[in-house]
Amino acid sequence: MAAAIVGRAALGAVFGKALAELYDTVKNVGSKVLMFKSILKSFKSNLDLLAPAVEEIRRLNQELDRPEEETKSLIKDMKDAEQLIRICSEIQDWNYPFQAFYVTKLTDLDKAIARFCKVHMQAQNKRDIFQILEQLKSIREEMKSPIMKIHGLSCSVPGPPDFTVGLDKPLKVLKIQLLKEKQQDKIFFVPVSKTLNLMVIVQRLFHYISGQAPEFQSDEDAFKQLRELLTKIGSNPILLILDDVWSGSEFRFEKFKFHMPNYNILETTRTKLPGFSFTYNLKPLKDDYAMMLLRHSASLQHESSNIPVEAIKKVLNFVVPLYFDIPPL
């Protein structure tokens, strides 16, 4: 293979030299005989097309593995043409038989060069089309891949909302239960939608932790590699938060329960989920918290509102029982 590449490189150098010499001859030598001027003009026109593409022809012949005989044949034609043109420049005007003979020879060589140009251009256009199709195919595959969907998404814990009510005590209880005197150094937060896609969740975790998002052969392969990745990042405690898990999908999250030291999972949900050693149920809001939440939601944070407090209480007495089972926001 190495010898073939070197051989093609040497052949390309010879091709470039032959083309340059022929071009200079056509351009500088000229003809003293009127009969040769038309064919020399055609030569120059074809060489003008061929000269800028010499390097591209070398590369194309190597990429497409075109037969070396084609290039060798053209090199011979160009060398023959150069010699003929030099001979023609010495032919006297009265020597018509020689003029006719060499015009035929030059015409055949000019056609050979023109054919090479045509074949090369067609091959180049075909290669360019293939390259464009390959690029389009690659783009389509990337757009279908979950990697494109997770690009730029984070698994860091989001900051607290600007306004909360009734969460101070529940948070303290939950922290005590979760931490148990062990600080969670690695916390990964993943929101879960109703249309669950476990592969996207794993891809997202991989992208956030390692900066890469490999494609997996199956769900089993994905979770196997995720476990290995979590093991490699160290022995520090890890907390995986799966936010807003919908009822019916909790059994699929069993795959995230790796038997690893210092590894915990926290799932937030609006319904009670089985299979956890500890469950914390948020109680409904008390009336005073409900009042604060309603004021905030209605942009009535300030007591200077023109709406009387008694009127708001009447609204609460009607609204709160309707949403009595909703936990605090």
Q: What is the pLDDT of residues 127-156, one digit of tens each?
A: 667 666 666 766 666 555 444 444 456 778
The dihedrals phi and psi of 189, each to the nearest 5 degrees, come to: -115, 120
pTM of the model: 0.45
DSSP 148: H
Tokens of 224: 């196997």
> Rounded distance, CA 318 to CA 213, Å?
51
> Rounded distance, CA 188 to CA 202, Å?
11
> Rounded distance, CA 36 to CA 224, Å?
78
Average the pLDDT over 87-96 and give the result: 64
Tokens of 67: 């037969």
Position 239: which residue type? Answer: L
With 60 as the cut, is the pLDDT of residue 302 above it? Answer: no
Contact 278, 177 (CB under 8 A): yes
Q: Which has more confidence, 167 or 71?
A: 167
DSSP 64: T
Position 5 confidence tier, pLDDT thresholds 50, 70, 90: very low
Q: What is the pLDDT of residues 250-281, one digit of tens each?
A: 667 778 888 888 788 888 887 777 767 777 77
Contact 71, 112 (CB under 8 A): no
| Helix 34-50 and helix 96-144, axial crossing angle in degrees, nearest 10 | 20
Task: Give the per-residue pLDDT at 61.
Answer: 61
> Rounded distance, CA 84 to CA 235, Å?
82
**Number of C-beta neighbours around residue 35 at 10 A:** 15
Q: Of 62-66, 155-159, 193-197, which has the strongest mean pLDDT?
A: 155-159
Q: Please give the torsion angle defined by the CA atoms of residues 205, 207, 209 and 215, in that order, rounded to the nearest 10 degrees.
A: 70
Query: Residue 209's closest CA among 239, 234, 229, 184?
Result: 229
Query: Residue 210's closest CA among 228, 196, 192?
Result: 228
